Structures are given as C-alpha cells and as structure tokens.
Structure 1
C-alpha cells in the first residue's frame, strides 16, 4: 500500500492506494502553523492501524517552499559570488544582495585566480556583525572545478549554520541561473529542515520503517532526509503532483492540456503525445530564473474561492482568495457561489450563495442567475485566455518534453483533462470555449495526492571529461578524478550510469523503477598548434521521470 499526501494552501489531501487504485481519500483543512498535525490528520483520515503496518512508501507534495518564495518569506542569506572577469555584476541576478569576491576558475576548471583570504576575513566579520549565518556560495566555472566554492565554505564554517554551494545543486554552466538557484536553496533551507524534522517525528508516531519521499519540481521524488540538502528542488512541487496524477488519463497518441482548478489558483500543463513538457533550462518563480529541472506549468489566480466583485461597473474575479464561498459561511461572493446558484454544483447553502449573487446583481442591475452565468463565463474565459497565451509562447520556441527535444514541433491539443475540486462544474464550459473535448477523471479532487503517491524517484548527473588534462569532473558530487588519454564517450556513459544508479538508490528508488537515459552528450576536439591533443566530453544522465511500476497485479 502507498500513502500519498498533498499539503496545499487551503486543504491537505490524502489517498491510500494499492498500486494505481485509490482505496480511501480525504481532505482536511491545512494549518500552516502546524504542518505536522495536518499530515497526521490526513493520514488518520484514510489509513487504519492495520493499513499503516502494510505501507510500502509514503510520498508528500507541499507548497511550503513555493509559498515562501511567492510571499517573499525568505531567510537572510549571505550571497558570496566569485564572478571573475568578463561579466558585470550589474548584469547578474540578485546584484543588490550579492557580495563579490576574488577568485575564479577557467572554463576548463583550471585555477586562474585564487580567493583572497584577507577579503574573505573581512566579509566573515561583516556577516558575523549582521548575524548572517546562512551562506550561498557561487563560482563562475565551479561545475568544472568546485575547489574555490569548497575553500570559501571552509573559511566560513565556524560562523555559518549552513552553506549551499552551487556545484552541488546543478551541473549547468549557466552562471546566472546557478546564482538564483543557490540563493533560493539557502533562503528556504530552514523551512525544509524544519519540515524534515517534523516528518521524522511523524514517522516515529506512525511507528513504521518505510521510505518517506517528497515530490520535486520535475515530477520525481526524493527521500525526505536527502531533501534537506536541496530544498530548492521542491519548489513547484504542487503543480508537478498534478501532472503526475493526470499522466494516466492523457492519451499517448495526441497532445493534451491539463487544467487543475483549485481554491485559489488554476495550474495549466501541456503534454505532447502523452508526455509532459519540460522547462529546458530550469523553472522560473517570482522572476527568479533557476537551474532547477522542472515540469512546465503556468498558473493563474482563478479558483473556486476567487473573490468576485464589481469595480467601476465591471465584474472582476480574483486573483485573491479572501476565504471560503458565502455558501460555506465565507465573507465575500466567489466562483463557487455562482456555480451553486446555476444549479451546476449541489453543495453548500444555496440560499447563502443566492445572497452572494444578489449583492453583485444589485450593482450590475441584473438577476442573480444572470450574474452567476457571467461569473462562470468570466472564470472560464480567464483560464482559456491563459491556455491560449501559453500555447502561443510554447509554439514560438523549441519544444522539450521530459525525455527529448521535439524539433519543429507545434503543440496542438485535441483533449483537455480538467481536475481539482471545481473541475466537474467548470469543465464543460472550458471545453465549449476551447472547442475541444474534455474529461474529468474520477477522484480528480485528490489528483495531487495520487500523483505524488505514484511518482518515481528521479536524479540527474552531469559529467565532464577532458582527455588532454586527463581529468573527469562530476559536478553534483564536487569531485575530480584522473582518466587516461584513451577514455571514450562510452566509458563516460558507463561510469556515469553506475554512479547514477547508486545515487538513485540512495535517494530511495526501487530497482524496478530505475530507467537511466542519456539526456545530453557532446564531444569536442581540443586543438593545440593545428593538431588534436585530446577530447572534451560532456554528458548529462537522468533517471527517466514517470510513474512507479504497478506491482499490485
């Protein structure tokens, strides 16, 4: 049995599953001040004591780190950047937060300038005075040689509670994205560390010894203790859970759209022949362009509890949520109130929902029913406009799925999968506006929890081999090792595959769910004096994202 839990901004959903089949499901209100209690309540709502004894894995998706970034509730971070020559600090992200110091590696990982120990000592004194004890350390070519990042971290180890080094978070050379990634990783580290401590208490209370995972932005899982090191990977965990939950319902012979309508927001994702699209360089959140591998999703502030009002004689909806629908004793009219008045949703107190629409009708000089229809049309129009804008943006550039680059491919959806609490009530209208068939899967109200429950563990590895220098660099491990001049691309892939499998198992993957694929490989000749003196080889390997194998049959 598998327990899946999705800690959302409004509700915490849970499912108890056997293979791909949901046995029980539940929703409880999220208490942001006591996540441990939410998770315990969500567990007890679906799992009896005898079920808990038979659990094989527990998977959690959460909006904790995402909300911290969106709401700018980030911890103070000492951002230390070794930018070297050739790039102005003003052209780099977080310019106003960074501390620029000497020291840089060449593009081949050879030291070009050593860090200035006296400069670092002054910065150390400054951080100590300002009581900054969390550091983000970034060097321009640290993925080729991490020695400078490791040296700076060592200098600050007696004053830093924790430090994030960029080479441990991404093997990408993209310097600006690594700066943003490392900063965010450290800025949310305290939240993830606290969550991991609470989850340890949770497991102790359950009294079971089974793997506990957290969902990442790429739709894969990571063991909860491992997540302490890379909390930035759990940003946008919620939308990723939706995509993994929708995956069994999209057709593999046509392009699809998934629309997840929640209480506050609607998340939209695209699929090419049943395969989710990917952010090729990394996810972007609140203008932070990161190198975090993630599924491509767009969000809009439209949901079942979106605040509906009249401004200057015009009907307005969202993006804020001020509480539940008036039909559920909330403070203001919402989309849900309109659905109830139209008779589409048979929930809540219809008289209170009617009162909500009457408030708007008085200002618009319409009947409550007319206003309710306008509210539904407005909500669906906002969602459809966002879908069309997303399609236009995607089709204006190369299309990447989680497995490959689709050259010259245009995404042309022929079906829409609508999920979330309001899905059964809004799907038909969205389909009419898009002139596209729609379907609402069963148990769509807990699709995030089921998606998290069935997601595979994913890891990635970046390696660079230089046969002239006879060195091999493994970015994420921060190590270099010697190789022979006869070392080949096949040797690099074989070595990397062995290491990736070990990494995946350490992160909690089962043998039957590990499918290694070469995501990228490049070979360049090293030329000196008009002759080839070696080869520079770069390989990126990954465990193929997807759903765990169904062993229930």
Structure 2
C-alpha cells in the first residue's frame, strides 16, 4: 500500500493506493500555527481503518521550502566563495555578505593556486566578530525581526569548478565546520557547471535547512506516533522522489515539490499524448504546466525562484496568485488591469472587470469558512455552485453579504458580480498561459527526453485539477475555446501524484584521459583511469553506478537512461587526450497505473 500526502498552503490532502486502486482520500485545512498537529490529524484520519502493516512507502510533497524563500523566513547564511580569475560575479539577490578568498582550480580540475590558510584564519576571526556583534544586538527583543537572524547560523561554500576538483571546497568547509550549525558544499548539489547558479543553489540549501529540518522531524514524529514504520520519501521539483533523510541534507531539491506533485497527479489521472495545458487550481495559487506530445516541458538549466537562478532540475511550471482563497476587491480602473477579460464586443463588462481585483494574495479563509475578506470561493457560493449541505445558513449569508458589499460599489447584483469574478478568473489564467506560450515558442523547447529546436507548443486541450477546478472548468472552456478535461479525483490529484511518484537521480560523468581522472560529483567519485579510457567504458560505468543507486532508492526496478554524451580530443603542449562527458538519469515515472 502506498500513502501520498500533499501539504499545500491551504489544505493537506492524503490518499491511500492499493493494487492500483485509490482506496481512501482525505482533505483537511492547514493550521499554520500548528503544522505538527495538522500533519498528525491528517495521517490519523487517512489510516483510521487501514492495515498499517501493509504500508510499503509514504511519499510527501510540501511547499514548506518554497514558502520560506518567498516569505523571507529563511536562516541566516554566511557565504564563502572562491571565484578565481575571469568574470567578477556579483550576487545582489543574496541577502548575505559575500566573502571571497584566494585560490583557483581550472576548468579541468587542475590546482592552479592553493588556499591561503592565513587568509582563512583572518576571515574566521572576522566572521566570529561579526556574529558576536549581531548576538549583542539581538539581545534587544524588538531588533530580532529587523535583523532577520536566527540563533543558529549556516554556511555555504562554493569554489569555481569544484565539480571537477572539490579539494578547496572540502578544505574550506572543514576549516569552518565547528563554527556553524550546517555547512553546504556546492559540488554536492549538482554535477553540472554554472558558477552563479551553483552559488544561488548552495545559498538556498543552507537558507531553508532549518525550516525543512523542523518539517522533516514533525513528519517523522507523526508517523512514529501512529506506528507507521514504512520508508519516507519526499517529492523533488523534477517529479521524482528522494529519501527524507537525504532531503534533510539537500532541502533545496524540494523547492517546487508541490507543483511536481500536481504534475505527477495529472500524469496518473489523464491519458497524456498531445500538446496540452495543465492547470492545478488550488486555494492560494494556480500552477501552469505544458505538455509536448504528452511529455512535460522541462527547465533545462534549473529552476528560478524569486531572483535566485539555481541548478535544481525541475518540470517547467509557473504559479500565479489566483486560487479559491484569493481575496476580492474593487479598485479604480487606473489601479486595475488594462486588458480585455471578456469578448471585445462587451465593453461594458470589460470596464467593470477592470475594476475587480482577484488576489494575488491570500488574506485568510473565505467568508464562508469564517474569514473576514470576500474570496473567489464566496463568489462561487453566491452562484450556488457549492454543496450547501456542508454549510450553515449563517455561513452562506455571511459570504453573500461580503460579495453584495463589493457588488454595490459597481451597481451590480451579487449574482452578476460573482459571475463577472469567475469569468475574470478564467481569463486571467488564459492570459498568463498565452504569455508563457509566447516565451516558450520563441526559444528551443526542452523536455525530459530531448531538445526540440523548431517545435511550437500548440495546445489542443486543457486539463484541470484542484478544489475549484470543477466550477471554473466551464469558464475556462469559454475563454480557451478548447476541450477542458477534469478527472474524477480532481480534488486530491496532488496527493495521488505524490503517492505514485518514483525516485529519480541525475549523474554527470567527466573523464579526462590526459589527466587520467574520472569524476561523478553527485556520488563523490574521483578515480584514476587509463589514457585509453573510452566513451563506451564511460557509458557502461555510469549506468552501473546509476543502477546501484537505484537499488538503494527503491525495491522496484527503476528505468535508467543516458540522455547526453560527447567525446572530443584535447591537445595540451606535446600531449593529447580525450574529454568524455556523459549525463544519465533514473527516468521520472509512476509506480503504477490507476485503474
């Protein structure tokens, strides 16, 4: 039996899957003041009448890391970089002072200039003095928030070309380790080259470490309390999973775990063969994805979150601040949106729509659930599109009163205002999809399988999941003018995706026959090879390493493949050799097909 739990910004969903069938689902509100109790209650409810001994795996997805970055609730991080000669990179997006040190490793991993340990000693003393000053300032309780400081501090260390030779990075990390709660070394996060992205990735890994560790501890404690002993995995941004114990050391990989669960859920519930738009409409946001011939569009170099460009592999997705709990307001036309929401020949409705603002923020639950500000859900309530058996007369009246107060500002009835809100919500999503397609179709399209140089994405259908999906489907059909599909389990598709996702991994092999060295940074492999080492030997070796890693990740047979390979000659003075590069992966996929 597989258990899937998706913890979003508004709801926590859970599913149990056995023998290719969904045997139980749950949906609870998230209590942000007590996440442990939220998780525990959801698990109790989900397994209440199930045989716990049959649970073989628990898969989780969460927005905890993403939200920490977006809401600036991350740990304080010191950053030590060794950039060597060349471009003088700056990192204004990182809210930490960057500390540069001497030393240099070249692009082939040769040690050109060694570390200056006297310089490290001076830096260590300086960092300690800065920390003492901040602690003194933090003694004043009212300054803690302004300084955005946690009581424990983390460190990120990145040296240029550390994937080719990590000796300097390891030495620096070891030198400072005793002074920090946690240390990230850049070469451990990805085998791909890109110094600026590696710096951002290492910084974020340390920044979200504390909050993710707390989440992981809560999950582990909750499962222990209900006596579930199955292995625990967490979703990564590429749609695969990794063991929770590994995620604690590399929490940056769990960024956009929520959208990944959305996509995997849609993969499980839909027959995906054509160009499609995929939408997950939740309580806080709408996540947008695209398929090319049924294959997801992929982020080729890594995801961008906020201002941070990273090396984290990910399914291409974009989130917009529109969901069931998005707050509604009426604004002046000049403060609203200045493009048409409805048909061009309906200028009256267009002018009114410009005065309605949906989101982008969530300011609490809908009026229907005891909130204080009207939301998209309240508009649905006014149009009798919700199951009123679940609400009291007082709840329904309170929601209608809030919508009526907004409607009166535009001289509309509550029903007409609510109808206009839902039309605008659908058109807002359509406009964002159109903008994204313009961007994607102006450049090569990357999928998890290949690069499509001259391929245009031309969606022929829209597939929708999420709590508000069924209600908004008819409005989306009007604006997209395409068939809109909705699966039976649309409300808990994310949890289904989490339950069925399989482990993934990417490995990068570099063999330099002139220097007689082979490296696979992700596995910390740095070995000697012969001068006649071949591409075929590299292919065999990387798949062997990947298959061994796959056995540790799952009892099931996981598919592995080589996705990139190259071999070219090098000449250095009077000697020559080959540079062999191979990239391989455990393919993202589902552990079973839902019947």
Give the TM-score band, short-chain normalised: over 0.9
Alignment deviations for residues 513-546 of structure 1 (CA, whole Å, 9 cap, x no partner): x1111121121211245x8721001111110001
Q: Could you tell me how far 1:112 is from its partner in structure 2?
A: 1.0
Of 272, 278, 281, which aligns to 2:298? Answer: 278
Matched, 1:524 2:586: no
Aligned to 1:12: 12
Deviation at 1:304, TM superposition (A): 0.9
Distance in 1, Cα, partners of 2:217 & 2:401: 46
Moved more, 158-167 or 120-129: 120-129
What are the residue-to-residue correspondences of 1:425-444 with 2, within 5 Å? 425-444=471-490
Q: What is the CA distance between 1:273 and its match in structure 2? A: 1.7
Q: Which position in structure 1 is the counterpart of 2:583? A: 540
Whether 2:417 is the aligned partner of 1:374: answer no
The equivalences for 1:473-552 within 5 A come to: 473-506=519-552, 508-512=553-557, 514-528=558-572, 533-549=576-592
Q: Secondary structure at the match of 1:89?
A: coil
The 5-angstrom pairing of residues 345-494 of structure 1 reads 345-347=386-388, 348=391, 349-494=395-540
- Assess, with a 3 A threshold, how the Cα gap between structure 1 residues 520 and 100 changes in structure 2: closer, same or farther: same
Point out the more displaced range, 396-405 or 29-38.
29-38
**1:76–1:6 distance in 2 versus 1, CA, 3 Å:** same
CA deviation vs aligned residue, 1:399-452 (integer Å, no higher than 9, x gap): 111222223111111111111100000011112101110111111111111100
Rounded to whole Å, the distance in 1 between the matches of 2:182 and 2:529 is: 33
Write out the 4+ residue segments of structure 1 that deviate beyond 6 Å after TM superposition.
Answer: none
Contact 2:327/2:362 (<8 A) preserved: yes
Q: Which residue of structure 2 lines up, in the alignment, with residue 162 of structure 1?
A: 182
Aligned match of 2:121: 121
Is the 1:249–1:417 contact (alpha carbons within 8 Å) kept by the matching residues of 2?
no
User: In the TM superposition, what whole-angstrom CA distance separates every residue of 1:310-351 from its partner, at most 9, and x where no partner exists?
Assistant: 112611111111122222222111111212222333344443
Q: Distance in 2 between matches of 1:55 and 1:405?
A: 39
Contact 1:146/1:479 (<8 A) preserved? no
Give the distance between the partners of 1:341 and 1:31, measured in 2 at CA.
26
**1:349-393: CA deviation from partner (whole Å, max 9, x where unpaired):** 443332122101211011111111111111111111111111111
> Which residue does 1:255 correspond to in 2?
275
Equivalent in the alignment of 2:351: none
Distance 1:533 1:154 in 2: 36
Identify unmatched segments of 5+ residues in structure 1. none
Partner Cα distance (1:73, 1:114) in 2: 37
Aligned pairs for 1:166-181 (under 5 A) are 166-181=186-201
- Once structures 1 and 2 are overlaid, which stretch shifts more, 469-478 or 89-98? 89-98
Distance 2:327 2:93 in 1: 34
**Among 329, 336, 346, which residue is 2:370 paired with?**
329
Structure 1 match to 2:40: 40
Aligned to 2:192, what secondary structure does the other structure show? coil
What does residue 343 of structure 1 align with? 384
Instruction: Give the equivalent residue in structure 1 for 2:64.
Output: 64
Unaligned runs of 5+ in 2: 132-151, 334-354
How far off is 1:216 after superposition? Answer: 0.6
2-structure distance, mates of 1:144, 1:428: 54
Q: Deviations over 1:162-188 (max 9, x none)?
A: 210011001111110000000000111
Deviates most, 69-78 or 31-40: 31-40
What SS class does the counterpart of residue 79 from structure 1 fall into? strand
How far off is 1:481 after superposition?
Answer: 0.7
Cα distance in 1, alignment partners of residues 91 and 43 from structure 2:
48
The alpha-carbon distance between structure 1 residues 355 and 32, as it changes in their structure 2 partners (threshold 3 A), is closer
1:214 aligns with 2:260: no
Task: Give yes or no for contact 1:16–1:46 (8 Å, CA) kept in 2.
Answer: yes
SS for the counterpart of 1:9 is coil
RMSD between superposed Cα atoms in Å: 1.8
| 2:357 matched residue in structure 1 | 316
Partner-residue secondary structure (3-state), 2:568: strand
Is the Cα contact below 8 Å between 2:93 and 2:307 reproduced in 1? no
Partner-residue secondary structure (3-state), 1:364 = coil
Residue range with higher mean Cα deviation, 497-506 or 300-309: 497-506
Residue 19 and residue 71 in structure 1: after superposition, are their counterparts in 2 closer, same or farther (change >3 A)?
farther
2:135 aligns with none
SS in 2 for 1:60: strand
How far apart, CA to CA, are the structure 1 residues paired with 2:540 and 2:222?
39
Query: In structure 1, what is the Cα distance between the partners aligned to 2:503 and 2:494?
Result: 16
Contact 1:104 1:112 in 2 (8 A): yes
TM-score normalised by length of structure 1? 0.96
Structure 2 residue aligned with 1:183: 203
SS of structure 1 residue aligned to 2:409 = helix
Distance 1:490 1:35, change over 3 A: farther
Between 1:72-81 and 1:26-35, the stretch displaced more is 26-35
CA distance in 1, matches of 2:97, 2:440: 32
Deviation at 1:135, TM superposition (A): 0.9
Q: How many residues align?
A: 549
